[in-house]
């Protein structure tokens, strides 16, 4: 594994004063600063000018996931407040959100010791309809609780209930409650599919006029879906990254995107965000698994260390074509899988050639991903950003990394 598991996370620390963390977004999405690393030189611009720096014929890949109102607050008769944080459904996302009562979700429970038994309940208004929402803990393990939600009238969808009852789950490092403006601003303008508990924040800088302008400049767009889990905020707390358990997330990719990637092989592929990066790179490894384990492989899951094992050589087009063969064989128009892919230094990118992203937390797996792409130049970029008053993390400024080939 080329020593990747022995990487010491302390090497990916940097000083981040709290005042440099953007607590609120700028009034205009594309007015954020843009740091550009290109040909090993660092420059500063505004995100609205990102098209001036993108390589010709670049394909930008968005993550269409939509942040759900995952935080539910209940109050017991004793006065104790219990927070239930919805992580992911027990079944398919689309089924879970369209389902009538009841549904079961994997959840985190805040103030759990105050909720020993019995069901929680609350009253709410869903489009003018009075709704009684209940929550019952079915089971509990070290990682999450299984919660069954039920409501009356029972024919309402869980999506509509959650929209009325829940709160936007802002990142914990913002140290504030969600406000009405966050419903719009902690959501990309291209968000489409419910499922994330955190925004794919690189996409927050885009506006519809900017996307239209980039299309006019000749840049192409495509989409993937990776539903971002709460694990994205979990820093690496172990001394070496080999001891860190990478969180698993659901990915959904249309057949047409994979065909597009094959057709555009050799041209620039620029994911918007680390979630799009992990999705695109996971496609290569799914192709490798199909090559090694056959076309009847199910479920499709990329383990965090799988890329670091020995595998027979396989080009990116070959890997992608194997996925297309798999979809044809099973009569599917989209690929559904899960990934726990750990992208860390020594990893070789198979699909992407650059990256649009934000500034990430110290000692995070996201910073490891950036380092895998640009090497130790990440230190120069982050030092530059700190020296030039860039704003950090989810509501902060942006980067365009275009490493030399």
Domain 4-66+186-402, what fold? QueA-like (3.40.1780)
Which pLDDT belongs to residue 90? 86
Which pLDDT belongs to residue 214? 98
Spatial separation of the C-alpha atoms in residues 85 and 314, rounded to whole Å: 41
Torsion angle of C-alpha atoms 244, 245, 250, 256, degrees rounded to 10: 50
Which pLDDT belongs to residue 404? 78
Q: Are 274 and 359 in contact, with CB atoms under 8 Å apart?
A: no
Spatial separation of the C-alpha atoms in residues 401 and 342, rounded to whole Å: 19
Which pLDDT belongs to residue 1? 59
Which pLDDT belongs to residue 351? 98
Among candidate residues 342, 334, 336, 257, the one with its CA nearest the CA of residue 299:
336
Buried b (16+ CB within 10 A) or exposed e, 198-227: bbbbbbbbbeeebbeebeeeebeebbbbbb
| CATH, domain 71-166, list 3.40.1710, 2.40.10, 1.20.140, 2.60.120 | 2.40.10
Q: Which residue has the tokens 């409501």?
A: 151
CB within 8 A of 173, min separation 6: which ones? 21, 233, 361, 393
Q: Mean pLDDT of residues grouped by 10 in the chain (405 residues)?
A: 88 96 98 94 97 97 96 90 92 87 94 88 92 95 92 93 93 92 96 93 98 98 93 83 91 97 96 98 98 95 97 97 98 96 96 98 96 97 98 98 86
Q: Is the link from the previous residue into 102 a cis peptide, with omega within 30 of 0?
A: yes
Which pLDDT belongs to residue 233? 67
Q: Supply angle C-alpha 187, 63, 370, rounded to 5.
A: 100
Instruction: Please give the structure tokens belonging to residue 256.
Output: 């047409």
What are the residue ranges of CATH 3.40.1780.10 in the chain?
Answer: 4-66+186-402
What are the residue ranges of CATH 2.40.10 in the chain?
Answer: 71-166
């Amino acid at each position: 594994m080329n020593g990747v598991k022995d990487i010491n996370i302390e090497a990916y620390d940097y000083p981040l004063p709290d005042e440099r963390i953007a607590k609120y977004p700028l009034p205009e999405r594309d007015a954020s600063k843009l740091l550009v690393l290109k040909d090993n030189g660092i420059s500063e611009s505004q995100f609205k000018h990102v098209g001036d720096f993108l390589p010709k014929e670049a394909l930008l890949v968005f993550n269409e996931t939509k942040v759900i109102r995952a935080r539910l607050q209940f109050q017991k008769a004793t006065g104790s407040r219990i927070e239930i944080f919805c992580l992911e459904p027990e079944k398919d996302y689309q089924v879970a959100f369209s389902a009538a009562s009841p549904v079961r979700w994997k959840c985190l429970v805040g103030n759990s010791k105050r909720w020993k038994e019995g069901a929680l309940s609350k009253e709410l208004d869903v489009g003018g309809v009075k709704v009684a929402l209940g929550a019952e803990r079915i089971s509990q393990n070290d990682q999450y609780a299984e919660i069954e939600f039920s409501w009356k009238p029972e024919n309402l969808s869980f999506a509509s209930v959650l929209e009325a009852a829940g709160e936007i789950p802002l990142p914990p490092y913002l140290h504030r409650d969600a406000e009405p403006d966050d419903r719009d601003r902690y959501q990309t303008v291209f968000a489409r599919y419910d499922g994330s508990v955190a925004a794919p924040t690189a996409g927050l800088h885009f506006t519809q006029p900017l996307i239209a302008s980039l299309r006019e400049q000749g840049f192409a767009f495509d989409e993937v879906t990776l539903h971002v889990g709460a694990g994205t905020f979990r820093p690496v707390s172990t001394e070496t990254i080999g001891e860190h358990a990478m969180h698993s997330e659901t990915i959904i990719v249309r057949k047409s995107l994979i065909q597009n990637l094959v057709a555009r092989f050799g041209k620039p592929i620029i994911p918007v965000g680390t979630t799009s990066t992990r999705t695109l790179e996971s496609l290569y490894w799914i192709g490798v698994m199909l090559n090694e384990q056959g076309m009847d492989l199910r479920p499709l899951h990329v383990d965090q260390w799988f890329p670091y094992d020995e595998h027979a050589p396989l080009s990116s087009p070959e890997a992608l074509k194997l996925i297309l063969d798999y979809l044809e064989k099973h009569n599917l128009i989209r690929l559904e899988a899960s990934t726990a892919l750990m992208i860390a230094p020594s990893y070789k990118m198979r699909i992407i050639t650059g990256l649009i992203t934000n500034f990430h937390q110290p000692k995070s797996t996201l910073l490891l991903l950036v380092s895998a792409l640009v090497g130790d130049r990440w230190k120069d970029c982050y030092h530059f950003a700190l020296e030039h008053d860039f704003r950090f993390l989810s509501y902060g400024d942006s980067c365009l990394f275009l490493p030399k080939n």
